[in-house]
Structure 1
Amino acid sequence: MINQFRKLNPINLVFLLAYTFLMRIAIFYELPAQVNFDFVESFNRLLIYIDLENALSPSANIFFATVVVYVQALIFNRVINNHNLLAKPSFLPGLMFITGTSLFMPFMILSPAMICNFLLIWIIDKFLKLSKSANSITTVFDIGMIIGIGTLIYFPFMAMLLMIFLALMLFRSFNWREWVAGLIGFITIFFFLAVFYYWKDNLSSFYQIWKPLVNKFPSVFKINYNDYLVLIPVAVIIILASLQLRENFFRSFISTRKGFQLLFFMFIVAGASFYLKPQFRISHFLLCVPPGAVLLAYYFSNAKKRWFYETLFLLFALSVQYFLFV
């Protein structure tokens, strides 16, 4: 399978679609009785209210989630190929993205984090363009606005503001205007939101938005480790990819090295931002899939021994299915 997706062949669009539905057989086989989907954060209901909880049945919810993931995989695949982060253009980023979004049942249901992955892929593209832009103030301002929109949908997405400064440190020489532009873009979204709340004479609700920022970091976690055994093959592939990346690191283009550094920090920030949400949900970690999928794709793009990487991916896909059914 890996060898097939190493080729940028249009027939892989069909194979990728089939693979997307195949990886979701478990949830289609045993549909949940009820699926809740909050399209936007509760503080934003006054501005946008879409009652999708009652509009979509569980089967419709999961079907549309599958279509959303497939579309995201294609967009993500194009972004990674356009920036030459892998050895050569392929469908591997899309394949790894779909596999990553199939790790857990909650990943397969429509959620705000899933919708925000569209925005995350968009800002990855814009971040990787920073080094190629003579004047990046407009780009950084746009990124700030995108993060602001994402925060309206899913509050922990606000943590991506930190990525603006990390990206500027990686790709640009210091320019205070660029550092301020991202914040202004973010604030612009919430300025108009505040005006709307003031217009509705409900400004007190606007202040409630920022309450999660004073949450204490959780000191106790209730974890069923059996639920996360599926991450063992992921960890193995990431270790192999890291070793391979280290071996080729200084032989890669500077932009490629910086791109992987950016994605590493994005993976950490996306994972750590879960504490901004009072109710922990595993679907939050969908935000870790795009940066993580690039590293997985990097290994399979550069691996030499076909019998080994094909077997490794087969075991990976089968383990995902096994733990989904079990």
Structure 2
Amino acid sequence: MINQFRKLNPVNLILLLAYTFVMRIVIFYETPAHLNFDFLEPFARLLISIDLENAFSASANIFFAAILVFIQALIFNRIINNHNLLTKPSFLPALMYITGASLFLPFMILTPALVCNFFLIWIIDKFLKLSKSPNAITTVFDIGMIIAIGTLIYFPFMAMLLMIFLSLLLFRSFNWREWVAGLIGFLTVFFFLAVFYYWKDNLNSFYQIWKPLGNKFPSVFKINYNDYLVLIPVAVIIILASLQLRENFFRSFISTRKGFQMLFFMFLVSAVCFYLKPNFRIWHFLLCVPPGAVLLAYYFSNAKKRWFYETLFLLFVVSVQYFLFV
């Protein structure tokens, strides 16, 4: 299967679509009676009146979530290939993205984090373009606005502001205008939101938006480890990929090295920003899928022993399905 997706064959588009639904067969088999879809954060609903909470039946919710994942996988695949992060263009990034987005049942429904992955994939593309742009002020300003729009949908997405500064450190020499441009882009969106709150004579509620920023990072976690055994094969592949990346690190182009460093930091930021949402759900970690999928794709793109990497991927897929059903 891996060998098939190592090629840029149009047939792979059909196979990817089929694979998307096969990986989600468990939730179609055991469709919940009702699923809510909170499209926007409560503070943004005054500005944009869209009520999608009960707009879809449970089956439609799951179906559209699968379609969104498939579309995101194709966009993500094109971006990774365009920036030459792997040894050669392939459909492996899309394959790994779809697999990562099928790890847990909460990943398979419409959620704010799933919608925000469109914005995350978009800013990955813009971050990777920073080193190629003679003047990055406009690009960084756009990134700030994209992050602000994503924050209206899912508040913890605000943590991606940190990625602006980390990416500028990686890809650009210091220019204070570029550092300020990202913040201005972000604040521009929230300035208009503040004006709207003021217009509605509800400015005190606007101040409440920022209360989660004062949350302390939790020191105690209640974890049912049996629910996360499926991450063992993921961890094995990531370790193998890290070893492979380390071996080839200094043979790669500088832009490729910096790209992987940026994605590593993005993975960490996406993982730890959950505390900004007091009642966060497991689907928050969908934000980790895009940067994580690149590392998984890197391993399968560079692995040499076919019998080993094909068997490893098969075991990965089987384990995902086993833990989903069990």
TM-score by length of 1: 0.99
Aligned twin of 2:148 = 148
Question: Could you give the per-residue CA deviations for residues 251-306 of structure 1, whole angstroms, max 9, x where no partner exists?
Answer: 00000000000000000000010010011210000000000000000000000000
- Structure 2 residue runs without a partner (length 5+): none
Q: Are 2:16 and 2:95, in contact at CA under 8 Å, matched by a contact in 1?
A: yes
> CA offset at residue 47 of structure 1?
1.1
Return the letter of the residue paired with 1:184. I
1:104 and 1:113 map into 2 onto residues whose CA distance is 14
Question: Could you give the per-residue CA deviations for residues 194-251 of structure 1, whole angstroms, max 9, x where no partner exists?
Answer: 0111111111111111010111221221111000000000000000000000000000
2:67 and 2:9 map into 1 onto residues whose CA distance is 21
Return the letter of the residue paired with 1:295. L
2:242 and 2:153 map into 1 onto residues whose CA distance is 33
Return the letter of the residue paired with 1:208. Q
Are positions 1:105 and 2:105 aligned together? yes
> CA offset at residue 32 of structure 1?
1.1
- What CA RMSD, in Å, does the superposition of the two structures yield over aligned residues? 0.6
Question: Could you give the per-residue CA deviations for residues 7-52 of structure 1, whole angstroms, max 9, x where no partner exists?
Answer: 0011100000000000000000001122111000011111123222
Aligned twin of 1:65 = 65
Aligned twin of 2:275 = 275
Aligned twin of 2:5 = 5
2:55 and 2:262 map into 1 onto residues whose CA distance is 39
1:211 and 1:144 map into 2 onto residues whose CA distance is 21
1:52 and 1:31 map into 2 onto residues whose CA distance is 19
3-state DSSP class of the match of 2:209? helix
- Structure 1 residue runs without a partner (length 5+): none
Aligned twin of 1:210 = 210
Aligned twin of 1:76 = 76
Return the letter of the residue paired with 2:19. Y
1:265 and 1:87 map into 2 onto residues whose CA distance is 22
> CA offset at residue 107 of structure 1?
0.3
> CA offset at residue 64 of structure 1?
0.3
Question: Could you give the per-residue CA deviations for residues 171-202 of structure 1, whole angstroms, max 9, x where no partner exists?
Answer: 00000000000000000000000011111111
> CA offset at residue 116 of structure 1?
0.3
1:152 and 1:120 map into 2 onto residues whose CA distance is 14
> CA offset at residue 322 of structure 1?
0.4
Return the letter of the residue paired with 2:58. P
Are positions 1:28 and 2:23 aligned together? no
TM-score by length of 2: 0.99
1:279 and 1:60 map into 2 onto residues whose CA distance is 25
Return the letter of the residue paired with 1:187. L
3-state DSSP class of the match of 2:35? coil
41-50 or 54-63: which moved more? 41-50
2:173 and 2:310 map into 1 onto residues whose CA distance is 42
Are positions 1:231 and 2:219 aligned together? no
Number of residue pairs aligned between Structure 1 and Structure 2: 326
Aligned twin of 1:91 = 91
Return the letter of the residue paired with 1:311. T
Are positions 1:15 and 2:15 aligned together? yes
Q: Are 2:6 and 2:92, in contact at CA under 8 Å, matched by a contact in 1?
A: yes
3-state DSSP class of the match of 2:220? coil
Q: Are 2:37 and 2:54, in contact at CA under 8 Å, matched by a contact in 1?
A: no
